Amino acid sequence: MHARDNIRNIAIIAHVDHGKTTLVDKLLQQSGTYRDHETVQERAMDSNDLERERGITILAKNTAITYNDYLINIVDTPGHADFGGEVERIMKMVDGVLLVVDAFEGCMPQTKFVLRKALESNLTPIVVVNKIDRPNARPSEVIDEVLDLFIELGANDNQLEFPVVYASALMGTSSLDPEQQDSNMKALYETITSHIPAPTEEVNAPFQFLVTLLDYNEYMGRIAVGRVNRGVVKQGQTVAVIDREGKTKQARIEKLFGFQGLKKVEIEEAGAGDIVAIAGIREINIGETIADLANPEALPVLKIDEPTLQMTFLVNNSPFAGREGKWVTSRKLRERLFKELETDVALRVDETDSPDAFVVSGRGELHLSILIENMRREGFELQVSKPEVIIKEIDGVKSEPYERLMIDVPEDSMGAVMESLGTRKAEMVNMINNGNGQVRLEFVMPARGLIGYRTSFLTMTRGYGIMNSAFDSYGPLVGTNVGGRHQGVLVSSENGNSTFYGMMGVEDRGIQFVEPGTEIYEGMIVGEHTRENDIIVNICKEKQLNNIRSAGKDDTVKLKTPRLFSLEQALEYLNDDEYCEITPKSIRLRKKILNKSERERAEKHRKMSAGV
């Protein structure tokens, strides 16, 4: 073994929106990695359209910067627990982590989630208290919170001796003193190079490499990204590829790349401890080992947390099927879902008795909705069912996933929020009042109780509440009626276009989901009823004009603004007997059985079989 003193491999971990990606931007800019005339867009690491729009990191990315004589490989990880599959793999590539914590918000659920993964992998931590320039920053309390979290997660003595850097990623400043900021990131560079250990691996042993991430290039196909575990690898070398089941095949490394800034740079060879990209192996998958041909030894297969939520993806069979999408057949849907499995190890796809339906399981609503959003942008049309938690049997007890929920609310909304969560079987574990009119509440509750809660939470807190959750553990199944929607819906009885007159007629029955002139079909959900039962409405009704009724009488009357759903809101809103129809241009809610009398027959049959 020998250390490669000039290399540092680190991952940046944090809760969503605590400034990881902005911090990487500043580290890149100040290290001189970019040339003077290069223009660098903000959040350069978030390359996917969805990441830029939502301001979140979904896929782990890696980059490399040079500081003095050091090569610092940095991997930016997602903060959402839904992308835990990405976070876990990254821990295998690095020797240390930068834990970024907001100087005001402090430790949040995902901070705990990502830190637990890092400590389990025995990595060396550095804590970066970011956004130190916020007017209400409270760095010393935040450091106490971080220390408590390290102790709670069972950190060892070395990990508890973490150095702290205070920074403002936005301003590009850092220092070791919370009161005084230097005008650059030098304090952080110095802490990384002095505190994170250099990789210690055997360079003279047979080559071994674990595929941790996959990239894709239309000229070279799949590109395997990971860290050289031991030995040396050269361009043109013939290697053994060992899959997850232990089967071995032969392949040739056509091209080898290192990283410089955000670019891949072709290199001739790499040694143990380097993070590289290997091109030329056609059928490579995440979790497989690329090894020396003469001594093919597999590395331990990556352990990934099990999915906790599932949905059924179906071919679109609504009356409007095939109008807007490019890919509408079950063959294309199947192909696309199985392609996603190659890069997303936390996803599962199971075929059903029907060739048109697939059960897709993931780590949470965001995980699945990002997949659906990507598919609709690619031109797919599909339908999905209500998200359901995955129930497991553990030691003979039926168990369901529990989430740790952290809520920041104004004091005057606290009572309503606690009452609403009580009905969803939430148990309060902590409450902190910072004395600024805001209260932080921490709960542990069944994941089922959170489905569909966000919209009513925002209404209760008038938009001022902040809600974050992360998977906590599996616990005993509680009750049957947890969470879900209690209101009935307005269901269209006709095919046609919604009219102003028709919509006026049902306005007092509830909230409408469509605007006048929208094309609708029988069985489509067009609004929410004020009561618990569903009702059939005709909003396509035309006004009969005669010489007594004047045409312009309604011109002064205004309809209430309809509630239009985003994809996540639509998925949360669904009930068991409903689908969400998704096309490149539209999101529609509908009943599974569109015809009213067929729906009633099915309901009667269901009650008889249930003995109700």
The response to whether 455 counts as a known ligand-binding position is no
**DSSP state, residue 39:** -
pTM above 0.75, yes or no: no
3-state SS string for 476-515: ECCCCCCCCCCCCEEEECCCEECCHHHHHHHHHHEEECCC
The response to whether 80 counts as a known ligand-binding position is no
Predicted pLDDT at 384:
94
13-22, 209-218, 559-568: the lowest-pLDDT one: 13-22
The response to whether 20 counts as a known ligand-binding position is yes
The single residue listed with the structure tokens 């921490």 is: 442
Cα-to-chain-centroid distance, residue 301 = 23
The single residue listed with the structure tokens 């867009």 is: 41
The response to whether 19 counts as a known ligand-binding position is yes
The answer to whether the beta carbons of residues 97 and 123 sit under 8 Å apart is yes
Q: Strand 489-492 relative to strand 535-537: parallel, antiparallel, unpaired?
A: parallel
The response to whether 607 counts as a known ligand-binding position is no
Can you tell me the mean pLDDT for 177-181? 84
The CA-based angle 7-166-113, given to 5 degrees, is 75
The response to whether 212 counts as a known ligand-binding position is no
Backbone angles phi, psi at 88, to 5 degrees: -60, -40
Q: Is 519 exposed, middle or buried (0-12, 13-18, 19+ CB in 10 A)?
A: middle
* pLDDT above 60 (res 7): yes
**Backbone CA torsion sign across 432, 438, 442, 445:** positive
Predicted pLDDT at 135:
83
The response to whether 395 counts as a known ligand-binding position is no
Q: State the average pLDDT for the chain.
A: 82
**DSSP state, residue 395:** T
Domains, in order of start, for the chain:
2-200 (3.40.50.300), 202-292 (2.40.30.10), 392-476 (3.30.70.240)
Q: Which long-range contacts (CB under 8 A, 24 or more apart) does 430-436 make?
A: 434/138, 436/136
The response to whether 48 counts as a known ligand-binding position is no
- Tell me the per-residue pLDDT of 445-460, one tens digit each, with 9 for 90 and over: 888 888 778 777 878 8
316 vs 280: which has the higher pLDDT: 316
The response to whether 502 counts as a known ligand-binding position is no
194-203, 289-298, 392-401, 432-441: the lowest-pLDDT one: 432-441
Residue 165's identity, in one-letter code, is V
The response to whether 583 counts as a known ligand-binding position is no
Residue 184's identity, in one-letter code, is N
